[in-house]
Structure 1
Amino acid sequence: MTYNLFISHSWSYSDNYSKLVNLLQKKPGFDFRNYSVPKDDPIHNARYDYQLKEAIERQIRPASCVIILAGVYATYSKWINIEIEIAQRLGKKIVAVEPWGSECTSTVVKNAADEIVRWNTDSIVRAIRGW
């Protein structure tokens, strides 16, 4: 089975996003399609917020699960809040992943999450498969 995932992230903190994608790619027997908005996607240059919001919704719509890195920066990101709203409106499961070694995490993300997991490949995959 291939899982359709939207991995929410801030490009200012893209290192954790890359590490998470790498973890999932290395998991034997776990196949997924990544619907996240790539860093070089021209939509990042949208003139209006509504255009970016529509593009994010187009990416989330086919996903079966939305994964959000729950670093404290997420609390202050209007886009992550918009992604949460879209995911909830579309009935998508939200999995919050607490970044490796983080002491502070986003209560906004954790309150919206259907499941909260630590930075552990097996825990993340189990949460995705459990939906």
Structure 2
Amino acid sequence: MRLKADLGAYHTNCQQLLQVEVTSYLFGCALLKFRVLKQQLVLRSISNMMSFEFFLFWEGDMANSRNVFISHIHEDDHRLAPLKDLLSKAGMDVRDGSIHSDKPNNAKNPDYIMSEKLTPRIRWASVLVVLISPDTKDSEWVTREIECAERMGKRIVGVWDYGEAECDIPTALDRYADAIVGWQGERIKDAIEGQINYREQSDGSQTSPRLVPRYSC
């Protein structure tokens, strides 16, 4: 009888231990799931609060790299790669935060696009580069991007697209540009780095420098 009682007690203890183990396992899984969900919620909350898109770029020599926002009309999307190649040959790798066909914007509301999509990208960049072609002057978006960069105290550089040095430029660029240069890699690089502070006319002549304080980031 005592052996039967001991076996009964042992069986009961095993059941209790098994229940404890199962409960601990389920609790652990629930806790892990809670932590994962909590982390996702926190990250999502941070993203929503900051309304900021994080740009992660690992390629290139950081010493010769610059964060830029290339303001342009969408019809000139195909001209971004040649501009970056031109700068690369001059020894500068640029990380572009602008929206283009490779990084499209699906939002529809203009105010939302400006405040939640474009403004954080312009803030991330140290320089706003405006690619100038004949239709650039008529773009409301290019004008808004230039004015946004001006309010932030960003350096603003205009670059004549290849063969387009005779076209008109946006009024905002004429008013706020720190430098406007032609389609030459070394000159564009120098303008981005602040070594050129004048504007080139279509005939190659220079205007007076614009003495306005700028802040890099």
User: Which residue matches 2:135?
Assistant: 73
1:84-95 correspondence to structure 2 within 5 Å = 84-95=146-157
Say how many residue pairs are matched. Answer: 129
User: Which residue matches 1:111?
Assistant: 175
Q: Which has the higher contact order (CA 8 A, sep 6+)?
A: 1
More moved, 8-17 vs 111-120: 8-17
Instruction: Report the CA distance between 1:78 and its aligned residue.
Output: 0.5
Q: Is the 8 Å Cα contact of residues 75 and 106 (structure 1) preserved in structure 2?
A: yes
Amino acid at match of 1:83: E
Instruction: Report the CA distance between 1:118 and its aligned residue.
Output: 0.6
1:18-68 Cα offsets, whole Å, 9 max, x none, are 21122123333x2332212232435x2212001210211010001110000
Amino acid at match of 1:86: C
Instruction: Report the CA distance between 1:126 and its aligned residue.
Output: 0.5
The answer to whether the aligner puts 1:10 opposite 2:73 as a matched pair is: yes
Identity percentage of aligned residues: 35
Pick closer, same or farther for the CA change 1:40–1:101 going to 2, 3 Å: closer
1:125 equivalent among 183, 189, 195 = 189
Pick closer, same or farther for the CA change 1:31–1:72 going to 2, 3 Å: same
Q: Is the 8 Å Cα contact of residues 110 and 116 (structure 1) preserved in structure 2?
A: no
Instruction: Report the CA distance between 1:107 and its aligned residue.
Output: 4.5
2:119 equivalent among 57, 70, 74 = 57
Instruction: Report the CA distance between 1:75 and its aligned residue.
Output: 1.0
More moved, 104-113 vs 64-73: 104-113
Taking the aligned partners of 1:7 and 1:34, their CA distance within structure 2 comes to 6
The answer to whether the aligner puts 1:19 opposite 2:82 as a matched pair is: yes
2:159 equivalent among 97, 103, 108 = 97
Question: Bigger radius of gyration, 1 or 2?
Answer: 2
Amino acid at match of 2:186: D
Unaligned runs of 5+ in 1: none
TM-score by length of 2: 0.55
TM-score by length of 1: 0.88
